[in-house]
């Protein structure tokens, strides 16, 4: 156990710059998402809010969406996203796409929260805190770690291309890379469960109380 903890600490220290870069990239996406909300004109906001209200109306009128369906769709989404980052990390040319995907993920979170708060005020903040925040407390670190691992493996391949002297074989690095991504996919199941059984239930209760 102590050995594994030491290896983890050494890994983070060795690649701290990459993890910090990915975190900043994600946070930049969140900021840009909030800026986009503020830069929208009144008509654009009203058009978008119309669809949001229609979504809220469907929730109040229709039967409750099964948590098991939300769990399945959410987990599959995370697996597909992580698998895409995994594949992109296998090629050096895919690295910029990893950056874009992580930035866009932050942008979506920032825009979603920003728009709810902008249109609904305190209710929007409360709605975002129960419908977006719980699963993202797990999802955000998972995606940042996944993007960082993709970048780390891409740099290993890049070093291998320009130098025969590398500390460990690429095949060994690939094995660790695959195992870590598989672990992240398992953790994403916990995030999907939070979304299905906590966020989804709480969001439906709040919307029904506001629009009933």
Predicted pLDDT of residue 86: 96
Phi-psi region of 207 (alpha: psi -120 to 50; beta: other; left: phi over 0): alpha
Residues ≥6 apart with Cβ < 8 Å to 109: 29, 30, 33, 132, 136, 140
**Average pLDDT for the chain:** 87
Check: pTM over 0.85? Answer yes or no.
yes
On whether the CB atoms of residues 11 and 18 are closer than 8 A, the answer is no
Percent of the chain with pLDDT over 90: 48
20-76: per-residue pLDDT in tens? 999 999 999 999 999 999 998 888 888 888 888 887 777 766 656 678 888 999 999
Counting beta carbons within 10 angstroms of the beta carbon of residue 131, is it exposed (0 to 12), middle (13 to 18) or buried (19 or more)? buried
pLDDT for res 6? 77
Per the structure block, which two tokens stand in for 146?
A: 């996944």
Contact 207, 116 (CB under 8 A): no
Report the pLDDT averaged over residues 145-153: 95
| Model pLDDT, residue 91 | 83
pLDDT score recorded for residue 163: 67
Q: Is 41 or 2 the better-scoring residue by pLDDT?
A: 41
- Hey, how many other C-beta atoms are within 10 angstroms of the C-beta on 108? 14
């Amino acid at each position: 156990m102590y050995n594994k903890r030491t290896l983890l600490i050494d890994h983070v220290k060795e690649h701290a710059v990459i993890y910090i870069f990915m975190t900043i990239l994600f946070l930049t996406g969140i900021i840009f998402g909030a800026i986009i909300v503020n830069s929208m004109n009144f008509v654009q906001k009203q058009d978008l809010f119309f669809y949001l209200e229609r979504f809220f109306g469907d929730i109040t009128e229709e039967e409750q969406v099964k948590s098991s369906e939300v769990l399945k769709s959410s987990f599959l989404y995370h697996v597909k996203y992580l698998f895409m980052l995994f594949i992109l990390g296998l090629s050096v040319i895919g690295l910029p796409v990893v950056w874009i995907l992580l930035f866009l993920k932050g942008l979506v979170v920032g825009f979603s929260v920003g728009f709810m708060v902008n249109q609904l005020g305190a209710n929007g903040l409360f709605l975002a805190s129960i419908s977006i925040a719980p699963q993202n407390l797990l999802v955000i670190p998972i995606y940042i770690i996944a993007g960082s691992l993709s970048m780390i493996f891409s740099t290993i391949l890049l070093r291998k291309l320009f130098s025969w002297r590398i500390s460990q074989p690429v095949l060994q690095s690939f094995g660790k890379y695959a195992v870590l991504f598989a672990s992240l996919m398992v953790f994403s199941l916990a995030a999907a469960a939070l979304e299905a059984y906590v966020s989804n239930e709480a969001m439906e209760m709040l919307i029904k109380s506001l629009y009933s």
